[in-house]
Amino acid sequence: MLQSPIRTPLIEGSKTYRSITSDILSPMMNKAGKFWYLGMTISSLAMLFGVFMIFWTVWQGIGTWGENRTVGWAFEITTFVWWIGIGHAGTFISAILLLFRQKWRNSINRSAEAMTIFAVICAALFPLIHLGRPLLTFFIFPYPNTRGLWVNFNSPLVWDVFAISTYFTISLVFWYVGLIPDIGTLRDKIKKGLKKNIYNFLSFGWKGSARDWHRHEITSIMLAAIATPLVLSVHSIVSMDFASSIVPGWHTTIFPPYFVAGAIFSGFAMVQTLLIITRKAMGLEDFITASHIENMNKILIATGSIVGLAYITEMFMAWYSGVEYEHYAFMNRATGPYWWAYMIMIGCNVVSSQLLWIKKLRKSLAFTFFLSIVINIGMWFERFVIIVTSLHRDYLTSSWTMYKPTIVEFGLLIGTLGIFFTAFLLFIRIFPVISISEVKSILKIGDKHQHKSDPGHE
């Protein structure tokens, strides 16, 4: 393992262990500010709006959406894939960067993981409500029943169920295992009362013993080791919803890596959005430093370029395959009635992320924030382009039609954004957004007292 001889410190400001604790725990110990309440109000209103739209959809039927005979999936699966994609950054940061020993991740992994969990919850909502008969969702699970029936293991949707539920479970467990020592800190910081009891309950009796730390680290690294293929598999399987079908524009073998890259791209963009707000709002500039943002921007360049490459490859393969349906499907994407969506996709994802080659922009927080939102919009449109433009003009020209979303569908998107931000706002008030113990362990990096070894690797 190569280490650069001089490292820039990962944490800025002169920090002691004690000040780290008090800095990070301050939101939990103090009253929330005006902006928190404002954000909470807005996001819960959005959530309520979404809940009403869910109720309306379930009661009245999927007909309230703009979908039709030809376009059977549109807004909802677009948003589903978008959220699942966002949900990839968290585990990517915690697992893959942990395996690659990117120490800077320690400041951001907690919030990224939380984001993952909330994003997966938002995502999982869509497959549920997009069912024609959501009350029969339990049909999807292979449970023993009096009909003697199981499920169709050929179907990518069943794979999805397994992949997403596994991903959610493992992410949640990973996140919680990491939280246990920090909850211990919280428990010890709070003097008494119900709050203390609750944290006590949640801390699982963490005492910080060397053996516990050892097992904790081994478990973390092993979870990271299995979460790494998991994170790659989840979006691969989601992409198989499309790739294993017969629809021109969906039926492409490039989808798994393309989707994974896209997912990490959008996930990091969302992490950027959240962290830039969080560090500002919660005064965590010392922990989430400009170099964190820059590092993530570098990942954005990389994944953005992969995504761009995938776009080009798709086009090339469509032409090279010689299949007229493929050929038409891709021409239709770029030049058909939904050309604007395609242009938004290219503009927001490929062109904008290339701007990050400029160091000045890469280091600019304002630009990064703006860009992260642009990328998220772009990635939403990527899925929209894949789903809608492929479906609306498929094989039989007689069935070609257009798709127009309705207010209900927008409501669902807004609603999940509401759920997401409500959950995130609650999270920052309840649990430390930065992993205290992990940050403490990297406090001295860039210091004189540099440690040569890494945990759990001997």
Partner 1 sequence: MNNRSYISISFDDEVPLLEAVKKLRDNKEKIADVLSPFPVHGLDEALSIKRSRIPIVGFIFGALGAILAFGFQAWVFTVSYPLIIGGKPFFSVPTFVPITFEVTVLFAGLSMVAALLIRSHLKPEIKFTPVDERITDDRFVILVDTPDEEINLKRITSILTGINTVEIR
Partner 2 sequence: MCKYSHEGKIKCLLPLILLFFIVFLALSNSLQAQNTTKAQVTDTSKVQHKDTTKAQLADTSNDTLKHQLPDSLIYKKIIFTTEEFIRGERLFYGLVYLGDQLVNCAACHNTTVSDTLNWNPDALEISIKYLNKSAYDLSKVLLRPIGKTMKLVHKEFKLTAEDIVLIKAYMNKFETIGLKQSKPVITNLLLLIIAFILFLVATTDLIIKKIFKNRRITWAVITVTGVFITWILAVNAIAFGRSKGYAPAQPIKFSHAVHAGQNKTDCNYCHYTAKISKTAGIPPGSICLNCHFLVRNGTRSGTAEIAKVLGAIDQNKPVQWVRIYRLPDFVFFSHEQHVSAGGINCEACHGNVKEMNRLYQVPDLSMGWCIDCHKARKVNLSNEYYKTYYPDFVSSFKAGKIDSVMIASIGGKDCGKCHY
Partner 3 sequence: MKKYWKDIESLKSKKEVRSTEKKPEENELFALLSDPGKILPASRRDFLKLCGFSIGAAALAACQSKVSKAVPYVIAPVELTPGVALYYASSYINGNDYCSILVKTRDGRPIKIEGNPDSGVTRGGTSARVQASVLDLYDGGRLHGPMKDGIPSQWELIDNEIIEKLNKITEEKGTIVLLTPTIYSPSTEAVISGFLKKFNGSEWVEYDAISYSAMLEANKISFGKQVIPDYRFDKADLVVSVGADFLGTWLSPIEYTKQFSSRRDPEHDMNWLIQLESNLSLTGSNADKRIQIKPSQETAILLNIYKDILRSVENRNANAPESPVDVNEISKKLLASKGKSLLISGSNSKQIQLLVNEINRLLGNIGETILFNSYLRTHKALDTSFKTLVKKMQKGAVNALLVWNVNPAYTYFDRDAFTEGLKKVELTVSLSGSPDETNSSVKYLCPDSHYLECWNDAEPKKGLFSLMQPAINQIYDTRQMADSLLKWTGSTTTFHDFMYGYWVENLMKLEPASHNPITFFDSVLQKGIFEPGTSKTEIIEKHLTPGILPFNSTSIKISKGPTEKTLEIVFYETVALGEGRQANNPWLQELPDPVTRICWDNYVSISPAMAKEYDLKDCDVLKLGETEIPVHIQPGQAYGTIGIALGYGRLKCGKVGDRVGVDVWRMLSAEEGNIKNTGKLEKIEKTGKVYPFAQTQTHHSMEGRAFVREAELKEFRANPAAGNEEHAYNLEHNKSLYKERTYPHHHWGMAIDLSKCTGCGNCVIACQAENNVPVVGKEEVHRVHEMHWLRIDRYFTGEEDNPEVVFQPVLCQHCQNAPCENVCPVAATNHSSEGLNQMIYNRCFGTRYCNNNCPYKVRRFNWFNYSAAGTLTGNLRDKEEMTGDLRRMVLNPDVTIRAQGVIEKCSFCVQRIQAAKLKAKYENRALYDNEIQTACSQSCPANAIVFGDMNDKNSELNRLITSGRRYNLLEELYTMPSVNYLTKIKNKIV
Q: What does the alpha-carbon distance between residue 94 and residue 99 come to, in Å, rounded to a whole number?
A: 9
Q: Could you say which of 133, 214, 298, 451 contacts partner 3 (CB under 8 A)?
A: 133
Shortest Cβ distance from residue 204 to partner 2 (Å)? Answer: 11
Residues 79 and 85: their CA atoms lie apart, in Å, by 10
78-117 binders of partner 1 (CB under 8 A): none
Decide: is 132 part of the binding site for partner 3 (CB under 8 A). Answer: yes
Looking at residues 308 to 367 of the shown chain, list those that interact with partner 2 (rule: CB under 8 A): none
DSSP string computed for 218-284: HHHHHHHHHHHHHHHHHHHHHHHHHHTS-STTT--TTHHHHHHHHHHHHHHHHHHHHHHHHHHHHT-
Query: How many whole angstroms separate alpha carbon 26 and alpha carbon 429?
Result: 9
CB of 246 to partner 1, least distance (A): 10
Residues of this chain, 187-216, that bind partner 1 according to CB under 8 A:
187-189, 197, 200-216
Among 49, 62, 217, 290, binds partner 1 (CB under 8 A): 217
Contact 224, 95 (CB under 8 A): yes
User: Which one of partner 2, partner 3, partner 1, none interacts with residue 131, CB within 5 to 8 A by kind?
Assistant: partner 3
Q: Per CB under 8 A, does 458 bind partner 1?
A: yes
Nearest to 9 by CA among 366, 437, 453, 439: 439
Q: Is 193 in the site for partner 2 (CB under 8 A)?
A: no
- The reply on whether position 134 binds partner 3 by CB under 8 A is yes
Determine the angle formed by the axes of helices 210-243 and 255-282, rounding to 10 degrees.
130
Q: Which is nearer to partner 1, 285 or 447 (CB)?
A: 447
Between CA 190 and CA 96 the distance in angstroms is: 34
Exposed/middle/buried for residue 49 (C-beta within 10 Å: 0-12, 13-18, 19+): middle
CB distance 99 to 1 below 8 Å: no
d(CA 297, CA 356): 7
Q: Which does 328 bind (CB under 5 to 8 A by kind): partner 3, partner 1, partner 2, none?
A: partner 3
The yes or no reply on residue 148 touching partner 2 (CB under 8 A) is yes
The DSSP call for residue 205 is: T
Q: Which does 59 bind (CB under 5 to 8 A by kind): partner 2, partner 1, partner 3, none?
A: partner 3
**Residue 60 binds which of partner 1, partner 3, partner 2, none (CB < 5-8 A, kind-dependent):** partner 3
Question: Is 21 among the residues that bind partner 1 (CB under 8 A)?
Answer: yes
Q: Which residues bind partner 3 (CB under 8 A)?
A: 58-63, 66-70, 72-73, 127, 130-137, 139-140, 149-152, 154-158, 161, 241, 244-247, 324-325, 328, 391, 393-402
Q: Which residues bind partner 2 (CB under 8 A)?
A: 145-149, 201
